[in-house]
Amino acid sequence: MIAATGPHIDVEALSPLLALTGGGLVVLLVGLLRPRVVREVLVPLLALASLAAALGLAIWQWDADEEIIAGALRVDTLALAFTAFVIVAAAITVLLSWRAVAPREAAHGEYYAMLLVSAAGMSVLVQAQNLVSLFIGFELLSVPLYVLCASEMRRSSSLEAGLKYLIIGSVGSATLLYGLALIYGATGRTDFAAIADALNSVGGPVSDPLFLTGLALSVVGLAFKVSVAPFHQWTPDAYEGAPTPVTAFMATATKVAALGVIIRFFDVALINAQPDWAPALAALATITIVVGNVGAIGQTSVKRLLAWSSVAQAGYMLAGIVVGTQHGIEAVAFYLAAYLVMNMAAFAVVVARARETGLGDAIEALEGIGQSKPLLAWPMTIAMLGLAGIPGTAGFIGKFFLIDGAVDGDYAWLGIVIVVGSAVSLVYYLKVVAAMWMRPAPRSVPVLAGGAVDDPPADAPAGPRAAGGEVTLVAVGCAAGPVVFGVLPGPLFDIARDAAAAMSHLF
Amino acid sequence: MSIEWYLVVSAMIFCIGAGGVITRRSPLVTLLCLELMLNAGNLALIAFSRMWGNAEGQVFAIIVMVVAACEVCVGLGVIVAMYRRRLPIDVDDMRELHG
């Protein structure tokens, strides 16, 4: 009889992931305790602690470059940098959820545990080195997000968003799975390095119809998750219906993870088939930039506007992957970090104004806050200008790198599309800025007698209440990011360069 | 029997599933069709696993079954929550969010 020997488990390299999953379990169990203070204060604090631990462990492992668990996952600077981005996004989401309705309705333990598990799934996804771990990461990310979307169970639009996201997300996963199955059929292997070898032995563009069908289906599956047009229709609905902190998490962390896995999948496993997929991805990026920017123009809800803008931003970032160079990946990593802080600042302001005015996420809620709430108006202004790519912000430098990368990789026309798209995007970003600074506060803002209610009952309608210091703190802190990195891009650029260095087989 | 037949069947199941997701109005049937799509992937994986003579495809297929079960659990949970709130259980009537 042969004794089965399990794969060697490198606990150190696995530690950030263990901290996230372990934290999820602890939070889930502590959430069962009776005292209210435990559920409302200790649980989010524990979630923050496990995120901080995971971030610390990821930084501690920074120089690692190894395959773990029999080649299922790869821990390198790319994976660790993207994991760190996801963790930062999750920590900000915990702060935004602190006094939100969603955790109270869904029970605090479950809500924060789902958040941590989803972050763990994203971490698996960016470390995936195998078709199986890619799929597991994909689902581990998605399934908790479906639940989180539907977590405000008393609001029908939240349930609707959850169900829509679930159905469309599952169609994406099923399509991705079929594509992965066909790629496995064409190459006979599931790990990325072996697939790359199998494709390399063909030489030149791969013309196997089985492989090309699989490639097309997996592009479609991944496009659903990054919300690349024409697979983006779920995005505005899911973003609008989901609780705003969850929307913020979906808009930033999901994008980090999905773009991370696209880099891994296309630039490691399928790099030898680049002539096959690069034109297709370039076409998708162009469509996405056009559709996202045009779709955002007529929106009156800030969440929908940010959803359409996130579609367009995904198109910009896809351009950095199309070229298949280290330079492109560097640009994507830099832009993702900038995009993350800018979007978080914008969503924090949306959360704050939705609580203060009871107008929800309509643009009217932002009118006139330039005079009355400069601490909210400035972060939103910086976020909008940064997303549009105004010089002096990290958004400008990120776009500059992306265009530079596209031109470098012989996709100069894609750079031109990015420039035109950014010019169009000013229409809707400046609309938000104008609403804040140039219009008076609306008279119709409902103000309840007695002002802010500290602790409304769980089923209270969304009436005016205090925004909470932590939300303002997130807004100001995240808005500082684009300005600091816009003036001194050095530190962030070093991280991006480290991340791209993990792809040393590229130029 | 050659591998092509398995692939033809799996492709047909995938298309039936995809067609059902697009045309059916009940979320329950939609979930059923999603299962068809995932299981079409499983069938292809197992056929390829036989063809290449390695177990990687079978391992993948078993994991996919677990994942599919999780997805359906969450989907049914959301549908039950909607039913309790007396919301229309019909994807065409979900019009609160649009655009």
Q: What is the ipTM, given to two decimal places?
A: 0.93
- Structural domain that includes position B64: 3-88
Q: Is B21 part of a structural domain of the chain?
A: yes
- Predicted pLDDT of residue A315: 92
Calculate mean pLDDT across residues A14-23.
Answer: 91
Q: What's the domain count of chain A?
A: 1
Each residue of A83-125: pLDDT tens digit? 999 999 999 999 999 888 888 888 888 999 999 999 999 999 9
Q: What DSSP element (H or E) covers A431?
A: helix A412-438
- For tokens 């549009």, the residue is A388
Any A CB within 8 A of B80 CB: no
Q: Is A451 part of a structural domain of the chain?
A: no
| Separation of alpha carbons A457 and A2, rounded Å | 62
Total CB pairs under 8 A between chain A and B: 132
Could you tell me how many residues make up chain A?
507
Beta bridge partners, A362, equal A301
Q: What DSSP element (H or E) covers A166?
A: helix A156-187
| CATH, residue B15 | 1.10.287.3510
Q: Is A459 part of a structural domain of the chain?
A: no
Residue A332: closest CA among A81, A63, A66:
A81
| Separation of alpha carbons B99 and A439, rounded Å | 27
Residue of B nearest to A164 (CA): B91
Three-state DSSP at A74 gives: strand
Q: Is B99 part of a structural domain of the chain?
A: no
Each residue of A209-255: pLDDT tens digit? 888 899 999 999 999 988 888 888 888 889 988 999 999 999 999 99
Any A CB within 8 A of B51 CB: yes
| Separation of alpha carbons A187 and A197, rounded Å | 9
Q: What's the domain count of chain B?
A: 1
Chain A residues within an 8 Å CB radius of B56: 132, 184, 189-190
Q: Is A390 part of a structural domain of the chain?
A: yes
Shortest Cα distance from A158 to chain B (angstroms)? 10
- Predicted pLDDT of residue A63: 81
Q: Is B48 part of a structural domain of the chain?
A: yes
Residue A445 has pLDDT above 80, yes or no: no
Any B CB within 8 A of A304 CB: yes
Q: Is A346 part of a structural domain of the chain?
A: yes
Each residue of A61-72: pLDDT tens digit? 888 788 888 878
Chain A residues within an 8 Å CB radius of B18: 171
Any B CB within 8 A of A209 CB: no
For residue A353, give both structure tokens: 């104004």
- Structural domain that includes position A495: 273-443+464-507
Each residue of A386-432: pLDDT tens digit? 999 888 889 899 999 999 988 888 888 999 999 999 999 999 999 88
The closest CB to that of B56, out of A136, A170, A189, belongs to A189
Beta strands in A37-109 (DSSP E): 66-68, 73-75
- Cβ contact A145:B74 at 8 Å: no
Backbone phi and psi for residue A333, each to the nearest 5 degrees, phi listed first: -60, -45
Q: Is B93 part of a structural domain of the chain?
A: no
The pTM is what?
Answer: 0.90
Least reliable range by pLDDT among A21-30, A360-369, B18-27, B33-42: A360-369
The closest CB to that of A156, out of B54, B67, B87, belongs to B87
Any A CB within 8 A of B44 CB: yes
- Cβ contact B57:B48 at 8 Å: yes
Three-state DSSP at A374 gives: helix
